[in-house]
Structure 1
């Protein structure tokens, strides 16, 4: 749900401002994982959990197209999305409408991110949905272990009647959320991230949306006519990388589990590792890069931008950067407990 952040000038940040510019902010939709298929069944008779499961399934199964806006403080960014399910396949196009043009094209779990300004095409395998309007990374019943889920009243978003839900965290390691789901289909139309006092940190909402019916295939095609001379980078977010097994977090916030890891090539040369933890709603990413690749003068420290907390630390011959959609308490807990273990010790875990 978050935009690119610029807190330092290392290779990680250059990559974050390109490779993650769309994926962190807008996310993607993919075919259902086993956990997601079981989401509706796992939700008990409590209506609030039924609604969470409905939100989870709607983003996967419904056809929809529209415009939405992300807001953080005085900053706003508008985007356009078209999503179609046909013959068991998922097709999607997501386009950033403000600033530098960026497009994301999806077919099932294959994602193509076009960044014309950087003459870069990122090709990734992303097996799981995790962002707006897809929200849950786990079945609703598991999410409810760490959030108190309550039904609210009915409100309108983008001209559609919505059911309001509030998710209050059961501890200080995560933010709260307020959700608006279309009453007819369950599609998430608006989401707010809330701090410990219930204040809105950031929000994202459709301003215009059409749900159901046929989607014009023209809306699903990239506007880029040629990638000749572009840098092409490939990654597989669904595959564990042995090089990252040596990195362990000794004190993970309750409910957060290691979901995936990957080693990326930045600029066609430098290798940057990424390990992701999630509690089903929020995510914490650990980026690992060689210290030799980081500019001289880089300092350890931390910063917060909206709902995103960032902390940096040097460990041996590596720089660690932890980025989380969580309070700084969680990010500091993670970065302070990261260890690099020997290959034998890692294999034994």
Structure 2
């Protein structure tokens, strides 16, 4: 369920990239010359992510498996409606997501304030890689190389016309971890309400804003990779969730009270997303710790074993 939620839609990653772009707009004084050129290009992506309407098909590749997903996103009068339909593999209900553009922008602004403006450049080195043809369109290639072993590298293709990302790949050294790539992409310049995706009885509908609600935090992470800052804290049905990001990568920590039975330990991975399970004691009670995010195993393991209760 957690993996499905984190990977249910390509645009979730694109929205995360929008957060990174906001931060990088004010990081130029820290950047090297090639970094500065890449950041200038990335700065054009922010508005496109929020405002460009489109239809398309993209592939999601991980561990030798390739899934095909049909997507559409329409922005009409400040309301955003997206639809995702799996075209391969096990049949699942299409997902329709409806949200407010104003609420999403407010949420991004809240996230921005949690970061040091030069955080990304301190932990990634950016390069321009020339042009490639993606989905029949000319795209500008960028690369973000991590400066330590606690995060993945990124490769990004930006459409020349719309400045929308057409490819997003996560890499570990020379190894591909996962890749999202459009094979069809059609911008919709001025969508009408009739063109917005409509939910049917067979669709799974999600509604709501992008704003995270914060609560009092009873747990502390004793270790996080350098540059990862707290984005939000949530609590629901005995589970506390903490989300952290360095501006590109994101990781969440779930601490759950156990009504009975043993805790689970171990790990599972799908593409770049790892689920690492551990436990933490508070007095004579055990709590399940679950670390979920787009980070290498070494980072997830160190985070999980560092969780302690506030004194």
Normalised TM-score (structure 2): 0.80
Paired residues, what number?
294
Match of 2:45 among 50, 55, 62: 55
Instruction: Provide the C-alpha distance between the structure 1 equivalents of 2:131 and 2:206, rounded to a whole number of angstroms.
Output: 46
Structure 2 equivalent of residue 206 of structure 1: 182
Structure 1 equivalent of residue 224 of structure 2: 252
Query: Do 2:230 and 2:242's aligned partners in 1 also have CA atoms closer than 8 Å?
Result: yes
Give the superposition deviation at 1:186.
1.7
1:220-250 Cα distance to aligned partner (Å, 9 max, x none): 33333499xx9999898521112xx111111
Against the structure 1 CA distance between its residues 21 and 282, is the aligned structure 2 distance closer, same or farther, given a 3 Å change threshold? closer
Match of 2:12 among 19, 24, 27: 27
Instruction: Provide the C-alpha distance between the structure 2 equivalents of 1:35 and 1:17, rounded to a whole number of angstroms.
Output: 22
Against the structure 1 CA distance between its residues 33 and 329, is the aligned structure 2 distance closer, same or farther, given a 3 Å change threshold? closer
Write the mapping of 1:1-349 to structure 2, written as runs, cut at 5 A: 15-16=1-2, 19-20=5-6, 22=8, 26-27=11-12, 39-40=24-25, 42-43=27-28, 46-87=36-77, 89-98=78-87, 99-108=91-100, 127-128=107-108, 142-196=119-173, 198-225=174-201, 238-242=212-216, 245-264=217-236, 270-292=237-259, 296=261, 298-316=263-281, 317-342=286-311
Structure 1: give runs of 5+ residues left out of the alignment.
1-14, 112-123, 130-136, 265-269, 343-349
Query: Do 1:65 and 1:215's aligned partners in 2 also have CA atoms closer than 8 Å?
Result: no
Give the superposition deviation at 1:151.
0.4
Normalised TM-score (structure 1): 0.72
Query: Do 1:289 and 1:319's aligned partners in 2 also have CA atoms closer than 8 Å?
Result: yes
Give the superposition deviation at 1:65.
2.1
Give the superposition deviation at 1:328.
0.8
Q: Helix, strand or coil: the match of 1:329?
A: helix
Give the superposition deviation at 1:340.
1.0
Instruction: Provide the C-alpha distance between the structure 2 equivalents of 1:33 and 1:155, rounded to a whole number of angstroms.
Output: 22
Query: Do 1:284 and 1:326's aligned partners in 2 also have CA atoms closer than 8 Å?
Result: yes
Query: Do 1:29 and 1:128's aligned partners in 2 also have CA atoms closer than 8 Å?
Result: no
Against the structure 1 CA distance between its residues 237 and 331, is the aligned structure 2 distance closer, same or farther, given a 3 Å change threshold? farther
Structure 2: give runs of 5+ residues left out of the alignment.
none
Instruction: Provide the C-alpha distance between the structure 1 equivalents of 2:202 and 2:290, rounded to a whole number of angstroms.
Output: 35
Q: Helix, strand or coil: the match of 1:194?
A: strand
Against the structure 1 CA distance between its residues 126 and 224, is the aligned structure 2 distance closer, same or farther, given a 3 Å change threshold? farther
What root-mean-square deviation, in Å, do the aligned CA atoms of Structure 1 and Structure 2 show?
3.6
